[in-house]
């Protein structure tokens, strides 16, 4: 048996091998299509990490990946495969925007006159926490549906979460289209939320962050959630019970732990974490619900969790790695002749393949 320190070092070693191997294979692909791999990687990395602005943009892209990576990782720890983070974050984003409109004293100009779309006009110190709580509750509720179906009827959470993705995204789009879209707006999006629901941009507090970078307070919340998820999983009775079910449901049940209860809890918390993507998206960046906003970060969270070995610290580092690819691939597409931004997707796929291939070595 490996000691804890040796196990951690081996995990880091295997992840580094997977990342380096993916760059090597990706470089071969780049060479075969007629580009210089060193130049392509220089463009990718220098534009993701080359300046304070680049780094801040990379952290901005990493923020939603941290939430979805934690979501998938926590479900994995209970032996569950949550493919529903995409639907959970869409439901949460619309619910958050709804609260920001309904309780923020929002007036919308319709046909030349202003209409009050709000029920209440709450102050900022109440509205922002209410919006954040709504994001977590909405995402958690959508995740709990799949957890209940698995616990009560034995239905596969994989199938359930995939189907719930379609339902959640479609419902959010329908309600936006027919109830909260400003008449005449060609874009499928809600009216803006109240300014009192906006969370601060980090450049308001840190002068070294450029004014045009949308990095906001949600990044700090994401870091906090990494710490809280670690404490929950490894420093609390509830986290221990959840992990026991993930390791061996029969043994956990024999020890007095209810697998059905833990399944519902795990999927609820997993959905809540995915729903927190809405904090940065709705409260910090767009300030409204915008359909098709996610860029499939819910699905990319699966890759983040796998590369991060389902550990909060690993998820944080993996999120930054994938954010580097997302940021850098934009400039690769612009400044090379034969390489498109899909090189980022190629590297993501290759690194996950290597992680999967190396899975058996991490258990030795």
Residues near 71 by beta carbon (within 8 Å), at least 6 away in sequence: 82, 85, 88, 143, 270, 271, 273, 274, 301
What secondary structure letter does DSSP report for 113? E
pTM (predicted TM-score): 0.95
> Percentage of the chain surpassing pLDDT 90?
79
162/343: higher pLDDT? 162
Domain residue limits, the chain: 1-35+337-364, 52-335
Q: pLDDT tier at 3 (50, 70, 90 boundaries)? A: low
pLDDT at residue 238 above 50? yes
Mean per-residue pLDDT for 316-336?
Answer: 93
**Which sign, positive or negative, has the C-alpha torsion 342, 343, 344, 346?**
positive
pLDDT at residue 363 above 60? no
Residues near 324 by beta carbon (within 8 Å), at least 6 away in sequence: 44, 45, 48, 49, 58
State the chain's mean pLDDT as an integer: 92
Instruction: Give the whole-angstrom CA distance, residue 175 versus residue 223.
Output: 32
Q: What is the pLDDT of residue 1?
A: 47
pLDDT tens for each residue of 12-38: 777 888 888 888 999 998 999 899 999
Least confident interval from 20-24, 222-226, 287-291: 20-24
Structure tokens at 26: 């990706």
349/149: higher pLDDT? 149
CATH of 52-335, picked from 1.10.357, 3.30.70, 1.10.287, 1.10.3470, is 1.10.3470
Give how far Cα 287 sits from Cα of 130, 145, 226, 322, Å. Answer: 15, 28, 25, 25
pLDDT tens for each residue of 136-158: 999 999 999 999 999 999 999 99
pLDDT tens for each residue of 53-102: 999 999 999 999 999 999 999 999 999 999 999 999 999 999 999 999 99
Q: Is 162 exposed, middle or buried (0-12, 13-18, 19+ CB in 10 A)?
A: middle
pLDDT tens for each residue of 171-196: 999 999 999 999 889 999 999 999 99
Which residue do the tokens 């993916």 mark?
22
């Amino acid at each position: 048996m490996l000691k804890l320190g040796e196990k951690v070092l081996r995990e880091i070693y295997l992840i580094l091998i997977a990342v380096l191997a993916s760059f090597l294979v990706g470089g071969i692909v780049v060479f075969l299509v007629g580009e210089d791999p060193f130049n392509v990687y220089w463009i990718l990395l220098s534009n993701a990490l080359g300046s304070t602005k680049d780094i801040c943009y990379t952290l901005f892209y990493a923020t939603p990946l941290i939430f979805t990576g934690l979501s998938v990782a926590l479900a994995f720890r209970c032996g569950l495969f949550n493919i529903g983070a995409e639907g959970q974050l869409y439901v949460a984003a619309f619910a958050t925007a709804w609260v920001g409109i309904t309780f923020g004293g929002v007036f919308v100009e319709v046909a030349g006159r202003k209409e009050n779309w709000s029920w209440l006009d709450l102050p900022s110190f109440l509205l922002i926490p209410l919006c954040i709580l709504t994001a977590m509750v909405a995402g958690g509720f959508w995740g709990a549906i799949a957890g209940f179906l698995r616990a009560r009827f034995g239905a596969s959470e994989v199938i359930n979460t995939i189907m719930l993705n379609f339902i959640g995204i479609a419902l959010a789009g329908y309600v936006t289209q027919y109830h909260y879209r400003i008449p005449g707006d060609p874009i499928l999006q809600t009216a803006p939320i109240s300014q009192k629901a906006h969370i601060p941009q980090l450049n308001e507090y840190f002068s070294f962050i450029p004014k045009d970078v949308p990095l906001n307070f949600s990044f700090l919340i994401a870091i906090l959630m990494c710490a809280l998820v670690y404490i929950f999983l490894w420093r609390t009775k509830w986290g221990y019970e959840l992990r026991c079910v993930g390791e061996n449901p029969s043994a956990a049940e024999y020890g007095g732990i209810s697998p059905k209860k833990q399944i519902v809890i795990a999927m609820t918390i997993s959905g809540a974490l995915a729903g927190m993507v809405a904090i940065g998206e709705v409260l910090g960046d767009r300030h409204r619900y915008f359909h098709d906003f996610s860029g499939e970060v819910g699905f990319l969270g699966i890759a983040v969790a796998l590369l991060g070995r389902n550990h909060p610290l690993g998820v944080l580092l993996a999120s930054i790695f994938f954010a580097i690819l997302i940021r850098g691939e934009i400039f690769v597409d612009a400044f090379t002749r034969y390489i498109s931004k899909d090189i980022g997707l190629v590297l993501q796929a290759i690194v996950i393949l290597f992680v999967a291939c190396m899975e058996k070595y991490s258990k030795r």
